[in-house]
Amino acid sequence: MSDDPLAGSRGGTATAETPPPDGAGRDNQPAPLAGAPRVSRRRKALRPYLLSVPAVLLCAGILYPFFLGVSYTFFDFSAANPAPDAVGFDNFTTILGSDAFWTSVRVTLTFALSATVLETVLGVGVALLLNRSSLVGKLFERVLIVPLMVAPILAAIMWKLLLLPEVGWVRPIAQFFGVNDYNGTDSPVMAMVWAVIVDAWIFTPFVAIIALAGLRSLPKSPFEASAVDGAGWWLTFRKLTLPMLWPYLLVAVIFRLMDNLKMFDVIFGLTSGGPGDATTTLQISAYLEAISYARYSRGLTYMFLLWLLVFVISMILVKYLRRIQDRAAGV
């Protein structure tokens, strides 16, 4: 009963048997309360559960393969060994003891952190510029989301072609600025730099539209007050705009960091993890192990470790977000 916020009011009036105040003008209608079905208390309490049953079943249908996958990490399951034996923590000790794994962790963190920072800084910048509502800004706001709606894999392919020395426009542009040894994504450092740039190309609009929505919902009076007091732009931004925008921004940052930690499409489409292992993130490693080499248990162990990393970071960040939002609501 108490689980249903509406049940209290309905139960109360039903037992009182009083005509509804607006029922007077509708005499020919059946008495509203008499017409209301007498649903048993038990069914009323069960209703939210019944409504959620399909979703719970669906979750179970997805959690089953997930737990199956986790259980595979304790076997030596591969295409070559379809009848696997239990090997305990062997997969974990092998992988945690290998240099390739730690390189992969470093690459994953480098990519995720640089891409998230770049997207956040660019996104806030673009939002601040668009918030000035100039004519140019109004024109551009309409096309802001275009990169975001391009499938990431297609965006990666577009950029791959754009960066190809013999096809793309980047080489002539680089030459115009005096860079004559342009070689696309051939060097390890540039492969990572371009992967981050392509990711930022797609997802900066994501941060920008959330930041813009935040900026437009901020109250005007503190800014008027600071203008009257003669506060400069930077001071206003640092002491006023940024703290008030932070709850919005944090939502965008969480989404971007989580997505970038498990980014597959952009890197796979652009460099496939190369050159060498320069852009081999944990997702790419797991893909190579599980799909290319068909060593399922190995690949799953990689994935499970990445899943743990994402899970722990997201727990911490979501808790922090809750606290920030509560504080913002309390003010």
Partner 1 sequence: MATTTEPTQAQPAAAPAPTKPPPTAARRADQRAAQRGSAAGLLANLALVLYFAFSLLPVLFIVALSLKTNAEQTTTYLWFTPTLENYQTVLGLGDSGSSYVRFFLASLATSTGAVLVSLAIGIPAAYAAARYRFKGSEDLMFTLLSFRFAPELVVIIPLGVIYQQIGLYDTIFGMVWVLQLVTMPLVVWILRSFFQDLPAELEEAALLDGYTRRQAFFKIVLPLVRPGIAAVCLLAFIFAWNNFIFPFTLTSGDAQTVTVSSLAFLGGNQVRFNLVAAGAVMAVLPPLVLALCIQRYLVRGLSFGAVKG
Of the pair 115, 212, the CB lying nearest partner 1 is at 212
Closest approach of partner 1 to the CB of residue 97, in Å: 21
Tell the smallest beta-carbon distance from residue 186 to partner 1 (Å): 17
Cα angle at 147 between 144 and 149, to 5 degrees? 100
CA dist 267 to 31, 149, 193, Å?
66, 18, 11
Minimum CB distance to partner 1 smaller for 75 or for 191 = 75
Nearer to partner 1, 92 or 255 (CB): 255
Q: From CA 271, how far away is CA 166, in angstroms rounded?
A: 17
Nearer to partner 1, 5 or 330 (CB): 5
| Least gap, CB of 248 to partner 1 (angstroms) | 6
Q: Dmax over Cα atoms in the chain, in whole Å?
A: 88
CA nearest to 195, candidates 289, 95, 278, 301: 278
Contacts 24+ apart (CB under 8 A), 84-89: 84/297, 87/297
CA-wise closest residue to 18 among 6, 10, 26: 10
Give the nearest distance from C-beta 29 to partner 1 in angstroms.
Answer: 7
Nearer to partner 1, 6 or 331 (CB): 6
d(CA 250, CA 14): 47
Rounded-to-integer distance, Cα 147 and Cα 269, Å: 16
Other CB atoms within a 10 A radius of the CB of residue 239 amount to 13
Shortest spacing between CB 227 and partner 1, in angstroms: 12
State the minimum distance, in angstroms, from the CB of residue 156 to partner 1.
9
Residue by residue, DSSP assigns 96-158 as HT-HHHHHHHHHHHHHHHHHHHHHHHHHHHHHHHHHT--HHHHHHHTTTTHHHHS-HHHHHHH
Q: Which residue has the tokens 């997805």?
A: 62
Smallest separation (angstroms) from partner 1 to the CB of 296: 5
Cβ proximity to partner 1, 68 vs 225, nearer residue? 68
How near is the Cβ of 35 to partner 1 at its closest, in Å? 4
SS3 89: coil
Altogether, the residues listed in the chain come to a count of: 331
Residue 182, helix vs strand vs coil: coil
